[in-house]
């Protein structure tokens, strides 16, 4: 279990993580948020690449800053180290000096990913380099794995294979894997749990099946002008509002009483429409952004930037 207790990380001109407290247990946890949300900083704090400004992080009850967890945790950064002249074998040998790696698993994944064993890694495409380090990461004999934007540039078919390998390894070996990614489809299909960060503050933390259950999407036509503000005056918490000609689409926190709408507006059409699975995380991220902006006393950003 990873316990993050009141952790703040401040840099010279900004606070990247702000008094964060949460627990992360076995399974695959997705870490999402817009650029600058604090995702990479949090992963580096857990890996002890960065020191906490305040608070502490415990891994299985031991401080991650004492070095006792080094052999039991592997952090795959978005720019992993390798020598330009090295081959796949050289990378394996180098990382084997610092970590216990299952050689059989590594060889099996290299073959599945169809990586060329004799060539220098400097000749690999971006996607091939990513696949190599994912193979290395999934071969680590450690309980905790952190992956920061590890899936950029990977072919969708290979990505499906990687997804299957992650699920198999994590479930069979009871590992804890935390991954950050901008690939929302991958997050939805792979992760058991989701953490949403905004400005270093946790906005959502829970099981994937619970994500989005409090949001409702509507499309409507009115005889007269209806704005987001006029809907909010009725006590409706609007997460997203878009007007396209006479058609209005909006997402609310909580179900809207249709009678309330019809009593206050000349309604031609008011209907609930399903929220697509691919929209759920985007809506949660939007709601998180709204909440943290309210906490900071700031104005809301335009929805078009995030949905």
Q: How does pLDDT run across 97-133, given as a tens digit for each residue?
A: 999 999 999 999 999 999 998 899 999 988 899 999 9
% of the chain surpassing 90 pLDDT: 50
Q: pLDDT tens digits for 69-90?
A: 778 899 999 888 888 889 999 9
pTM, 2 dp = 0.81
Q: Exposed/middle/buried for 33, CB within 10 Å: 0-12, 13-18, 19+?
A: buried
Find the mean pLDDT for residues 232-251: 92
Nearest CA among 170, 213, 211 for reference residue 190: 170
Give the ranges where the chain is alpha helix by DSSP (H): 39-46, 88-96, 103-112, 126-138, 156-173, 184-190, 228-232, 258-264, 280-295
Nearest CA among 51, 44, 72 for reference residue 60: 72
Contacts of 202-210 with C-beta under 8 Å, sequence gap 24+, read: 202/20, 202/21, 202/22, 203/33, 203/284, 203/285, 203/287, 203/288, 203/289, 203/291, 203/292, 204/284, 204/287, 204/288, 205/22, 208/30
Answer whether residue 64 shows pLDDT above 70. Answer: yes
User: What is the predicted pLDDT for the residue at 304?
Assistant: 42
């Amino acid at each position: 279990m990873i316990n993050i207790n009141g952790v703040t990380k401040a840099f010279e001109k900004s606070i990247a993580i702000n008094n964060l407290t949460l627990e992360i247990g076995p399974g695959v946890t997705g870490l999402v948020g817009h650029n600058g949300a604090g995702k990479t900083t949090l992963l580096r704090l857990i890996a002890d690449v960065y020191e906490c400004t305040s608070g502490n992080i415990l891994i299985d009850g031991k401080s991650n800053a004492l070095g006792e967890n080094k052999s039991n945790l592997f952090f795959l950064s978005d720019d992993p180290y390798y020598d330009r002249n090295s081959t796949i074998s050289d990378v394996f040998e180098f990382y084997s000096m610092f970590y216990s790696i299952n050689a059989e698993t590594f060889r099996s994944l290299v073959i599945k990913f169809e990586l060329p064993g004799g060539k220098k890694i400097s000749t690999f495409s971006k996607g091939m380099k990513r696949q190599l380090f994912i193979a290395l990461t999934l071969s680590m004999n450690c309980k905790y794995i952190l992956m920061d934007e590890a899936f950029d540039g990977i072919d969708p078919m290979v990505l499906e294979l990687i997804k299957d390998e992650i699920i198999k390894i994590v479930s069979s070996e009871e590992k804890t894997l935390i991954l950050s990614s901008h690939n929302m489809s991958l997050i939805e299909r792979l992760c058991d749990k989701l953490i949403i960060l905004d400005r270093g503050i946790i906005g959502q933390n829970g099981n994937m099946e619970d994500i989005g259950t409090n949001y409702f999407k509507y499309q409507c036509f009115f005889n007269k002008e209806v704005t987001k503000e006029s809907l909010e005056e009725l006590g409706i918490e609007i997460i997203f509002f878009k007007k396209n000609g006479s058609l209005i689409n909006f997402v609310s926190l909580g179900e809207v009483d249709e009678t309330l709408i019809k009593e206050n507006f000349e309604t031609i059409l008011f209907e609930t429409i399903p929220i697509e699975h691919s929209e759920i995380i985007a809506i949660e991220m939007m709601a998180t952004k709204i909440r943290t902006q309210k906490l900071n006393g700031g104005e809301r950003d335009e929805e078009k930037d995030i949905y």
